[in-house]
Amino acid sequence: MKLTADNTAVVLDSTADFPDAQTRFSNFRIVPLYVRFGDESFKDYVEITPDRFYERLQTDSELPTTSQPTPGDFLATFEELAPRYERILSLQISSTLSGTFASAQAAAELLGGDAVRVIDSRTVSASLGMLGIGVQRRLERGTTDEEIDAYVARYQRDHQLLFTVNTLEYLARGGRIGRAAAFAGNLLNVKPILTIRDGEVIPLKRVRGNAKAFAEFRALFESTSADSPNLKVGIAHAAAPERLAALRELVEHVRPRAEIEIATPLGPVVGTHAGPGTVGFFWYEDA
């Protein structure tokens, strides 16, 4: 079956941090996760904006928690799309970080038939958003399930991701710290350089201060990319616009021909687990 942007819908979850996806691509939908302050529950982006979220994070006495969409949430989206599209590609946050994938699968099973394919992206945030953009590039040219599978596999293998957090406490509290736990809890202003591998947060190195963190970013970015318009970059930050700007400058300086596809705040759900001050970027080659 030939897949096109006319006959194939793409469903992301809100952890893709790609809130204008549906405005940019009419065949895209976003299913929101939930963020909870005490007994108040909000749909990610829909009922609470990143700005409002980081504001509350400052002022609330209780730290927020998050939860995956219900199967019902996915089912409603699938049911809306099913009459109009022959294929629904549902790209989800890594199943090692969230149960969202399971909710989408349960909904696909309930819908029945084989129109919906739920894909475990093994990644999160703008990196998931960029995976969606890559899928769309192929849909617009005309593609097949096999080609999409091959692309997703290549993306998972080749895409690079680096980020740093102000403190590992947020990752630890949410249980998403993985092996980076070994770096937690020191009193000096230490910046861990982190990546996500096979859906797990992995510490690469730790350095003192922002300047050195950026120097590490730069060295790793330079050694694993080549300057070309095919180099696609995404940048994300949690309430740290000055770091976003600095990272954008770094990318434009080191790889002037690269295309920055996404530059975005981390949304409430991802922000709950990363914490304010987090900044990161993602890159891979694609034509």
Partner 1 sequence: MNASAGMRQRIRELVEGARASIEANRRRIDDLNVYPVPDGDTGTNLTLTVRAIDEALQQDGPDDRAGLAKEVSRAALMGARGNSGVILSQIVRGATESLAESDDLARAFRSASDAAYRAVKRPVEGTMLTAIRSMADAAEHGADLAGIIARGEDTVAQTRDMLPVLKEAGVVDAGAAGLVEIVRGIHAAISGEALAPPPEHEEAFGIEAIHQELSRYRYCTVFVVEGESLDADELEGELERLGDSLLVVGDRSALKVHVHTDDPGRALSLGIARGAIGGVEIANMHAQTQQREERLLHAVPADREACAVVAVSSGVGNRTLFESFGGVVVDGGRTMNPSTADLVAAIDGAPAEEVIVLPNNGNVILAAEQAAANAAKVARVVPTRSLQAGLAALVAFDSSRRAEDNVAAMQEASDGVATGAVTIASRDVQLNGVAVRKGKWLGLADGEPVAGGETFDEVAQAVLERLLREPRSVLTLLTGESPPVLDGLLSRIQSEHPDLELDVHQGGQPHYPLLLAAE
Is the CB of 24 or the CB of 179 nearer to partner 1? Answer: 179
Q: Which stretch binds partner 1 (CB under 8 A): 5-13, 199-207, 232-240, 250-258?
A: 199-207
- Residue that is written with structure tokens 């970027």 in the block: 281
Told to check if 220 binds partner 1 by CB under 8 A, we report no
In angstroms, rounded to a whole number, what is the distance separating the alpha carbons of residues 177 and 279?
A: 16
Shortest approach of partner 1 to residue 206 CB, angstroms? 6
Q: Which stretch binds partner 1 (CB under 8 A): 14-22, 134-142, 184-192, 234-242?
A: 184-192
Q: Which stretch binds partner 1 (CB under 8 A): 13-21, 96-104, 143-151, 156-164?
A: 96-104
| Long-range contacts formed by 218-225: CB under 8 A, 24+ apart | 218/250, 218/254, 220/160, 220/162, 220/193, 221/160, 221/162, 221/250, 221/251, 221/254, 221/255, 221/281, 221/283, 222/254, 224/160, 225/160, 225/255, 225/258, 225/283, 225/285
Binding residues for partner 1, rule CB under 8 A, total 51
Told to check if 63 binds partner 1 by CB under 8 A, we report yes
Backbone angles phi, psi at 97, to 5 degrees: -105, -20
Told to check if 270 binds partner 1 by CB under 8 A, we report no
What residues have CB less than 8 Å from 23, skipping those under 6 apart?
Answer: none
Q: Which stretch binds partner 1 (CB under 8 A): 56-64, 140-148, 232-240, 243-251?
A: 56-64
CB 278, CB 224: distance < 8 Å: no
Told to check if 65 binds partner 1 by CB under 8 A, we report yes
Q: Which stretch binds partner 1 (CB under 8 A): 63-71, 150-158, 221-229, 254-262?
A: 63-71
Shortest approach of partner 1 to residue 279 CB, angstroms? 15
- Our CA angle for 248, 254, 257, nearest 5°, is 85
Contact set for partner 1, span 8-37 (CB under 8 A): 34
Told to check if 62 binds partner 1 by CB under 8 A, we report yes
Contact set for partner 1, span 74-93 (CB under 8 A): 75
Told to check if 277 binds partner 1 by CB under 8 A, we report no
Told to check if 208 binds partner 1 by CB under 8 A, we report yes
CB 259, CB 134: distance < 8 Å: no
In angstroms, rounded to a whole number, what is the distance separating the alpha carbons of residues 220 and 280?
A: 13
Contact set for partner 1, span 221-240 (CB under 8 A): none
Told to check if 190 binds partner 1 by CB under 8 A, we report yes
Using CB under 8 A, list all residues that contact partner 1. Answer: 34, 60-63, 65, 67-68, 70-73, 75, 97-99, 102-103, 105-106, 109-110, 167, 169, 172-179, 181-190, 203, 205-212
